[in-house]
Structures are given as C-alpha cells and as structure tokens.
Structure 1
C-alpha cells in the first residue's frame, strides 16, 4: 500500500481527482520548475533524504513538492496557514506518494499538531514559510534538530524571525533567505501579491474598486504591487509608512502619503502588508467610516487588531463567505476579510502560476544548494547565490521566447578594468 495513504492526516482522499486537475493545470504553466524537475530526475540530488515542507498548500506548492520528490526525496508537506490549504490538492499529493499533514481550517491546536507531525518524520532538509517549522524546532521540539542539515525560507516574516535568531546566536542550522532573492521579491512580492490580493478582495466582496479610496499599509515590495494594481483598478490610493525612504518613494510614485490616523478617516478599502502587528488598531477604528473593508496580506493575522475590533462591537456575524461584519456600538459596520489572514490565499488561489514558477524554482535550487554546502555555510542565514538567481531568470526568459544581449570580450575587459577609458 502507498505509505503516504497510511501515514497522512487529510480531510478526504476521495477529493483527489479534482486536486490532480489543479496540479496538472499549474504544471502546464510552470515551465522553469518543469525544467528543474527533469534536471532533478537525472541527478537525484535528494536521494535517500527526507524533506519536510510548510507552505500554503495549494496546487503550485503541490507541484514544488513533486519536483523535490522527483529529485529522490521522501517528502512530507503541511500547510502554513489554516485557511489556505486546499483539501483536494492534499488528497492528490497523497495518491502521488507524498505524506500530507494538512486540512482546511483546522482548530488552532490541531493546526499546530499537524506542523509538529511534519517534523516528527525527522527531515534532513526543510522548506519553511513564516518561520513556523524553525520556531517549533528551536523552542518546543529541539529533540528533532539532530538530522537537519538546513533549509530555505519563503517569506519576509520568516526572514525577520530567522535574522533575529541568527543575531542572538540561536540558529542551529543554515537557512537560505529565498524571499530576499531578486527573482523572488521583484516578481513574486510585487506582481504576484499585487494581482492576487485584488483577486481575493474582488471575488470575495464583488464590489467596485474604481473611484474608491484604498489605503495600503506598508510600501515594501508587496505594498508596491498592491498599490500599483489598486491604481490600475481606478482607486484613489493612499500609502502609510514608518520608513522615510519608502514614504518618499511612494510619494514620487504618485500616491498620497499620510499617517494611518488620517488615512483611517477616508479609506474605503484597507490592505495591510507590513509583517508587523497592530498596524490597524483601536484608535483607527474610532475614526473609520461606516462600511470600511479591512484585509491583510501579511503572513500572520496580527496586522489588523481583531481583539480591539471585537471589543468595540456589539455583534459579529458572517455575511458572505470570508466576510465577517463587525457592528460597532455607534452603529457603524466594518467588514473583515478572511479573518484577517492572507486575503490572497485564504480568499483566493494565491499568486499566479507563472509568478510562482520563478519563486519555487528558487526554492528547489536553494534546497539543493544548502544540502551540498551546509557544512561550509554554517549555522546562519544566507542569501540565494546570485548564480542561482540569474539561472532562474534565464530559464524564465527562454520559456517566454525572449532573447537578450551578451557582453563582448572588449566590454567585459572595460568593465573589469579601472584603467580603461
């Protein structure tokens, strides 16, 4: 019998046919990852190794897991958010021999247990999202650290946690900061988040964006993408920031910049993308307009302060799938999307497949890199080598049928010499 069927904890194996269709669809639109899959099948870089993955468990992630499996690994996968797991995709992976500990919307205690089960397989390598696996290993289950050679981290929030651990000398194995690679943040964070956030908001609310005021909280690469797409939809866009340089950039990109205490008074839609907590909180609720729509695109559901919103409310009810209505004591109503979790994944399908093609190609190559170099790297956070970043970009260009120039020998000599003029 398929060992994955015996060991997995999923909602319903009978959902597998629909999951296979989803995975087949994204595979057809992820040519870079498919090219790496062929390379892995030939080289078997993970032969005999166990790999545990924690990512938003939908079709694109499933294909990454299959690529790692094709490289010889025994793969276990779990979700990185309770509301982004797709049960049919989980079932399809189990049929394909991948052990899955995940289901849609488990209770918090069960969700935590599913993460731990993925680590109890004693992996040699991990792929993490938000630092959940790393945190559990270092705080609650250090007994599972023994076999781990290293891993790769997907997102900004996870990198912040890893760097804090690294600074304190607490990190017990090397982690590659995939989020900081050019082919990740320039495309995934900007174009992926920008498109998928509005996909999630639009399909959930079915409301017009044009002519309304959108407040984008944070102007990192994700915020840039969200603001750019809001502008394209015809919104009046306001950016709030704590970083002076990013605030100047937002201003020169044509957006209004102001403190949240001012923006809260006029916003119709709010999107948080900071990676920090309580960026929308009580003092902001006190001045918001009736009907304000609140959403988050940061990793954890702490950016919109839900306890302070609930404390001001006399009723909370679900008025539409993924929309909770909070009625305040003065009669105003606010609408929180996807429980304040990642709106693009909890209320949508996440980033487009062509975008995740590049990000997950980086994940696959980074996992191979850390497996080969973990002793040299040491117990620290490292960037994706530029050579891997450029390789993914070149593979992407080839898949698009796009050619670029190359330097001549004379041009290389000129650039390499301080005496040439």
Structure 2
C-alpha cells in the first residue's frame, strides 16, 4: 500500500515532466476521438496512470480504472474520483482476491476498449466473460509479462479482438524498458535497502531489454554483474556486453543482489533459495510471479522486518535472505515507490493513448489477434519527444530514398550522388 503527500492536485509534479501527454490532451479536447467509448484501464494507480486517465477523458472517453496490489496511491484515487467521466474500482490496501473482484466489476461495465498492464483484464475478459470479449473493439498492453501472456493467447487463437502490443514498439522497447525501468528499479532498491551497489556482486535474471538496462547501469555503478538466461542468443549478447553468464543455481551462491527481470513464472525456485548466499537481497522487477515466495516461507524458520519494505527470512542453517517488497515489482511497491521516471511514462502512456485512438479511427479494420503498433504512431511519439527536448535531427535526402527504392542496377554509388 503506497501513501503519497496530500494536496489539491497529486498529479502536479508529473505534469511538469509530461509534455507529450499534455499536448495530446489539448489536441484530443478539440477532436474528442474517444467520444462514446468506455475505456477500462488496469495499471498501477500512480500519478503517471492518473495523467493517462485524464488524457483519455480529455479525448471524450468514459474511463473505469483498477489498480494493482501495493501500488495504489490514495490521493490519486481521490483525484480520479472527482472527475465526472472517471470511475475507480480499487482502493489502497486491496489484496489480490479483492482486486480480482474489482476487475470483474469493471468488466461488468462492458468496456469498448481495454488498456492493460500485465494483461490482467485482457486475460480475465477472455477467461470469464467470453461473450463480452466478442464485443470489445480492441485493447493495448504495455509490459513484457503481459505480452508473454498475449502471445500465448494469440498462438492458441484465443484473442477475440485486436490488441496492440505497445511494449514491442521501438520507443517503448529501447527507451522505457532499457532506461526507465533500470533507473527506477535501482534507485528504489537502493532507497529501500540503504545499501551501496559499488563493489557488490549483482545477479540479473533475464537479459531482455529490462534486464540489459539494469545490468548495464549496475555495472556503471561499480557492481560485478552476472547474468543468467534461458535464451542462448541473449546469453551471448550479455557476454559480448561484458557480463559474466552462468546458471542461476551457480550464480546465487556469491550474490549480494539477485534481481529478476523476466516476467515469467517461478524463475527463482526452492533450489535457488537453498543455494543463495547469506544475507542476499532478493527482488523482482518483472512481476510478482517470478519469485517462489511460498517456497521461501516454507524453508524459513522465522521472518522479521528489519526496515520498511524488507522481509528477512532466516533459514535452518542460520543464513538469511532479504526479500524486497514481498517479491512485488520493486519500482512500484516500495514505501515511497512511484514507478518509472515521469519523462519515460510520458512517452509510454502517450503511445497507449495514441494506440487506443487508432483502434477506433474511421475505417480502421484489424483482425482479432496481437498486432504491432503502426510505425507511424511510434515515430509520431518519438518526434513529439524530440520537439519537447528542442532537439532537431537530420532528414533523409531524396537521393538516399531513390537509392533504396531502385534496388536494381546500382554499381558503386553513382545513383547516390547528389
């Protein structure tokens, strides 16, 4: 459960660092592209999500919002409840079962569009509300773990409507996942534990975009970085980037930190916990499902809380393992966690907003299934971001375009000369 400072506008600080959402909201007020649409949103109820919901409301949508356990800000909920076109379906302190019931209640409003974080609503609507799923116009998903679930649903031909995989866009993949997740994860980990990264051994489980960013920034801070992987190509990439690579069971014995970044189920299991170094700090950035907390509780002879956000499990041989934020994602579930930096969430939620608008655009017809966000949308958000930074870039010349269009007859560089 996350507390935040009270005030008239709990979104005021993030507004200052969210020029893209502010620009889109101003544009949407003029055109109301989501009028007559009910949008169901499932995401950590932080100020960033609050600003996203405001943007959807500015676009003319009626919005229902459910949060996630451990990351709901009370003042954000109160602010959203004050908006005439927004209804909140979860409160701070809800456990998993209560939140699932709140999500069911939200789906009972029969949304036209779904914006998800972890595919909780998207999977629930197909599992328990198949008739409703047939009437949903479309959805979008912004996380790696959510895309993993959606890919499985797509492979099994389960999806009843089109879903944009926002997490797979170049902007989200290379900007948010690599830099935003790494900075927020490490800063929250250090804040909660009050420990120093430099000189420590840090094991990063998973070398996707998030894991790569985390491992890189940990090494920049002076850590000895070890990467574990199940994909041989990502393992090779980690080696080429200068990290040691080994199996998790071998890595944890010397680890000061073990950070999971996979979005997959039971990555850290009993056998890893049994081999873990004394006083290791264990945390997740991918999902609460990554660490087998039940196995840790079964192994332990006692549990204490030496500081807020840390549960210390004592094992029969006297070793201790320090679990951060109950195994929930560390950048959202700590005592003062607020998620990724505002500048990053500005681009990601702008992409989510643009994707939802695109799904209901005139003449838009997409088959049911998982789809890439159109390149035109990704480029538009990138251009808006550069504009906000007052950065200009070069343009492709006509001769360069001609060279790539005319694929035959090029000998040397004659046709590329201006």
In which range does the TM-score fall when normalised by the shorter chain?
over 0.9
Name the CA distance, whole Å, in 1 between partners of 2:37 and 2:7.
26
CA deviation vs aligned residue, 1:243-301 (integer Å, no higher than 9, x gap): 111111111111111111110110000100011122211112222221001000113x2
- 1:169 equivalent to 2:164? Answer no
Contact residue 134 and residue 160 of structure 2 kept, 8 A: no
Select the residue among 326, 338, 342 that pairs with 1:339: 326
Rounded Cα–Cα distance in structure 2 between residues aligned with 1:267 and 1:190: 23
Distance 1:199 1:373, change over 3 A: farther
- Of the three residues 298, 316, 327, the one matched with 1:311 is 298
Partner Cα distance (1:203, 1:133) in 2: 32
Aligned to 1:3: none
Deviations 1:322-360 (A, max 9, x none): 111101111111110111010111112110000111111
Is contact 2:39-2:111 (8 Å) kept?
yes
Structure 1, unaligned stretches of length 5 or more? 1-10
Structure 2 alignment gaps of length 5 or more: 414-418
Q: 4+ residue runs of structure 1 moved beyond 2 angstroms?
A: 15-22, 141-147, 372-375
Q: Take 2:132 and 2:398, find their aligned partners in 1: how far apart are those partners? A: 52
Correspondent of 1:101 among 74, 89, 93: 89
SS at match of 1:290: coil
Cα distance in 1 between the residues matched to 2:73 and 2:182: 22
Residues 207-261 of structure 1 deviation map (CA, whole Å, 9 limit, x = unaligned)? 1111110000000000011111211221111111111111111111111111111
Query: In the alignment, is residue 110 of structure 1 matched against residue 127 of structure 2?
Result: no
Contact 2:134-2:161 within 8 A present in 1 as well: no
Alignment partner, residue 247 of structure 1: 235
Contact kept? 1:124, 1:150, Cα under 8 Å: yes
Give secondary structure in 2 for the equivalent of 1:295: strand
For the aligned residues, what is the CA RMSD? 1.7
With the length of structure 2 as denominator, give the TM-score of the two structures. 0.94
Q: Distance in 2 between matches of 1:103 and 1:349?
A: 16
2:170 maps to 1:182: yes
* Number of the residue aligned with 1:46: 34
- Who is 1:77 aligned against? 65
**Structure 1 length as normaliser, TM-score?**
0.93
Contact 1:16 1:91 in 2 (8 A): no
Give the CA deviation at 1:29: 0.6
- Equivalences for 1:259-278 in 2 at 5 Å? 259-278=247-266
1:56-205 to structure 2, matched below 5 A, reads 56-79=44-67, 81-97=68-84, 98-205=86-193
Is contact 1:217–1:223 with CA below 8 Å preserved after alignment?
Answer: yes
1:27-72 deviation line (CA, Å, top 9, x unaligned): 1111111111111111110111111100111001110100010000
Cα gap change, 1:26 to 1:223, in 2 (>3 Å) = same
Cα–Cα, structure 1 residues 205 and 17, in superposed 2: closer, same or farther, change >3 Å? closer
* 1:209 pairs with 2:210: no
Asked if the contact 2:9/2:79 (under 8 Å) is kept, the reply is no
Which residue of 1 is the match for residue 416 of structure 2? none
Distance 1:119 1:334, change over 3 A: same
What's 2:355 paired with? 366
